[in-house]
Structure 1
């Protein structure tokens, strides 16, 4: 009998030990998903916002504990409800045109940032063409979302696109920055623009403190040639890196970065190109002492990555990362483990 009770005691202790190893740190009552190596100290996890072509479904999220190995949170986080709903006048074609996938709303290039009050702010591309605004919604928990809104930005321009809006919060200025690319009219083409086989995009931006009132739209960075897909990194106060795509074709279509002392710019001293041809949609996550720059190798239908410590020297890191197939252009944020557990519970209950 004593041996029997001893057996039960040992079995119980083993069960508790195994449970302690597999339960989420916040004791959410379900096994920990195995995406990367669990954090040993911070209790933080990474979320990677993105979408899948043809962008009709909406926002998707991946998660990781090491910033390298990713798994999907099942299902759609937020479906598009606005945009892509009207004909537009093409100045290039001199006629009225239906936008791509008209009349279905799309959600491309989602970008998320968390504000100082804990609110998550999401912006996205509303349409391939025929749009002078970007999409906006907010959430306290990434599960329940506000009404989706159009934020008009290029109303005084003949441009027909607002591509890849990126949202960035600066603690020192207590302001949100949103920057994007829009096409120039042909009257403003440079010699480099005229040599290209596609249109000429430039970067623009605005600032806001509440996503209700906005600053005037201004040019953000103009290298004198076609550029899109900007991403801003703050290393320290007064030390900013702006990463973007050199969108000239033929011959470039790859990534580089420029440096500045303020999120308002100006930016200068461009780095060497550090990603293969046909790379776009850069986003950055700091893991330990290095920065990983993820990019969409869109011709190959996959993600690539490079690592850097100074944004001047870059090491290929494709072999170090793994992502679910089909994930495209987005941003990476960090959240508490409890946030991930809540998202997974919600996904499993739908």
Structure 2
């Protein structure tokens, strides 16, 4: 009886918190090599994150020869549907895509063959989606190395020298041809783009291996499809960082990233996108979390995906 009452109080507390919150932040991510699929965590303040469904998978990967679901990016479309893309393989020329109305029931998974016309394309990594309200267009973008296209430091890059490429769509049925989105003159990967008024901000990883950068930088553009400005100075500290994702909480920007050599997550914050403060010691995320993205959902939507184990 005491255990029942305790669990009941926890459940009531959870529901009360959800009702008080006007919106909830949802983190989509993967664990290990991405073989078990999509993981989700939620937060009310952007600092403390709690894994959902006991930190088990919401969706098992089914496409590509490797059947992976790395770097999941989910956005809420203008149609009210959640659209997701992900890295489905280490070496394929496509990316995974699926959609859902509730984060539980997903459409049949597809592989978008975004680099199939590039004979020397080695990969398609860390895809994301950004919506342009002005043109009512979605842009899907990712990092690819096209062998021989850019000079490569073979001693440390193992043949990889990424640039950011993109396609656009209005309905996730027909897509424009693949084009180059961003070439800052060095190995770049893990781009995430967010609107800020009339401009767009790209946060991305400088992958330069020698002398090592391995940090997060910013570039700006007046249009979603570019051209993007020359990158600014790093916003992350003296450690290797990758996989940035952003969140606006009040007047603060928070950029989260994977401190992958330290096997933990970090974050920096700013109110002006110029001066950044390290807040890695203030965040708490599920153990083993890897590269993902954040979106906002309603308390009602969260309630639908909460598993009984999450209330214990």
TM over 0.5: yes
The answer to whether 1:202 aligns with 2:181 is no
Q: For this pair of structures, how many residues does the alignment match?
A: 298
- The alpha-carbon distance between structure 1 residues 172 and 156, as it changes in their structure 2 partners (threshold 3 A), is same
Distance in 2 (CA, whole Å) between partners of 1:332 and 1:63 is 9
- 1:300-311 paired onto structure 2 within 5 Å: 300-311=262-273
The answer to whether 1:273 aligns with 2:234 is yes
Cα-to-partner distance string for 1:226-265 (whole Å, 9 max, x where unaligned): 100000011112x111010000113111110011111111
The answer to whether 1:117 aligns with 2:117 is no
- 1:118-157 paired onto structure 2 within 5 Å: 118-129=80-91, 131-157=92-118
The answer to whether 1:249 aligns with 2:230 is no
CA contact (8 A) 1:271 1:312 kept: no
Return the index of the structure with the highest Cα Rg.
Answer: 1
Output the TM-score relative to the length of structure 1: 0.80
The answer to whether 1:45 aligns with 2:21 is no
Give the counterpart of 1:215 among 176, 193, 196.
176
Cα-to-partner distance string for 1:196-237 (whole Å, 9 max, x where unaligned): 611101000111011110011110010111100000011112
Unmatched segments (≥5 aa) in structure 2: 1-7
SS where residue 333 of structure 1 aligns?
strand
Deviation at 1:40, TM superposition (A): 8.7
Aligned-CA RMSD value: 2.3
Distance in 1 (CA, whole Å) between partners of 2:230 and 2:185 is 14
- 1:177-188 paired onto structure 2 within 5 Å: 177-186=139-148, 188=149
Output the TM-score relative to the length of structure 2: 0.90
Give the counterpart of 1:80 among 61, 64, 68.
61
Distance in 1 (CA, whole Å) between partners of 2:186 and 2:12 is 50
Distance in 2 (CA, whole Å) between partners of 1:156 and 1:139 is 29
CA contact (8 A) 2:245 2:294 kept: yes
The answer to whether 1:71 aligns with 2:44 is no
Distance in 2 (CA, whole Å) between partners of 1:205 and 1:81 is 23
Cα-to-partner distance string for 1:139-175 (whole Å, 9 max, x where unaligned): 0000100000000111121112000001111212111
Distance in 2 (CA, whole Å) between partners of 1:317 and 1:179 is 28
